[in-house]
């Protein structure tokens, strides 16, 4: 059984059909990268997968449990399976780093405060932020804020981690430090779904890649199958990004 399985997913915004019959699977320990041009439906797919958007058709299953039409208890169980890292960090500006990490641990996961602080500090150590527990988001660089966002998602002990263009708000130097963290998580066999425009990174870190355009999956497979395949549209897209 796959950790995440999406079957025949459809999503429209009024008259605009954004997702058209999307199906995919992610097994435990795998990394799936989603690539494609702007407006192809990548971020909408991710938002539907983490239940931030209602779907118009299809199924979203975690460990075989369908989130579409599920009761409150099932939804609560499903939501505890995943963590999400946004493009723009979404840290609470009035809380310091330690508070950002421990708040949900204490109030959502009901973890003892002392245990939460120990686990949060261990995550900060792991992500190269050992001395930043008392700092506020506004005192951190963009790269540091995104690493705190990753630590906050990991603090809830998710089975699968989702990233929505995690480096789009960062300059190249800060991008490198965030991608380094994600690569380390991949080596540890953290299950991840990553919407990204970083082609070299996607090829290096992924077990499978899907290329989306106009609401469809146009190509999918291993990095070599997608990057070395004969789909002319995929070749054109990758070629343009590689030349930048």
pLDDT tens for residues 46-73?
A: 999 999 999 999 999 999 999 999 999 9
User: In whole angstroms, what is the distance from residue 240 CA to residue 238 CA?
Assistant: 5
What would the mean pLDDT of 175-182 be, rounded to a whole number? 93
What would the mean pLDDT of 218-230 be, rounded to a whole number? 94
Q: pTM of this prediction?
A: 0.94
What would the mean pLDDT of 31-57 be, rounded to a whole number? 95
Tokens representing 162? 């989702």
Q: Which pLDDT value is given to residue 244?
A: 53
Phi-psi region of 51 (alpha: psi -120 to 50; beta: other; left: phi over 0): left
What would the mean pLDDT of 175-183 be, rounded to a whole number? 93
User: In whole angstroms, what is the distance from residue 47 CA to residue 68 CA?
Assistant: 13
> Looking at the predicted structure, is the pLDDT value of residue 242 above 70?
no
Q: Which pLDDT value is given to residue 168?
A: 86
Q: Which pLDDT value is given to residue 147?
A: 95
The tens digit of pLDDT for each residue in 118-156 reads: 999 999 999 999 999 999 999 999 999 999 999 999 999
Under a CB-based contact definition with an 8 Å cutoff, are residues 37 and 55 in contact?
Answer: no
């Amino acid at each position: 059984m796959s950790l995440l399985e999406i079957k025949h997913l459809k999503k429209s915004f009024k008259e605009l059909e954004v997702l058209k019959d999307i199906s995919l699977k992610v097994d435990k320990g795998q990394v799936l990268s989603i690539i494609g041009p702007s407006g192809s439906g990548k971020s909408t797919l991710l938002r539907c997968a983490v239940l931030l958007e209602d779907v118009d058709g299809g199924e979203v299953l975690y460990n075989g449990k369908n989130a579409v039409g599920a009761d409150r208890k099932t939804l609560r169980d499903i939501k505890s399976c995943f963590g999400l890292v946004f493009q723009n960090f979404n840290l609470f500006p009035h809380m310091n780093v330690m508070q950002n990490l421990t708040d949900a641990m204490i109030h959502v996961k009901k973890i003892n405060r002392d245990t939460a602080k120990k686990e949060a500090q261990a995550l900060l150590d792991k992500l190269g932020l050992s001395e930043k527990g008392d700092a506020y988001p506004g005192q951190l660089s963009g790269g540091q804020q995104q690493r705190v966002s990753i630590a906050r998602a990991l603090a809830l002990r998710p089975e699968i981690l989702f990233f929505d263009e995690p480096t789009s708000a960062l300059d190249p130097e800060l991008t490198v430090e965030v991608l380094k963290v994600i690569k380390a998580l991949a080596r540890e066999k953290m299950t991840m779904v990553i919407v990204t425009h970083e082609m070299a990174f996607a090829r290096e870190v992924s077990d499978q890649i899907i290329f989306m355009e106009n609401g469809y999956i146009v190509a999918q497979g291993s990095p070599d199958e997608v990057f070395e395949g004969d789909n002319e549209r995929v070749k054109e897209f990758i070629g343009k990004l590689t030349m930048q």
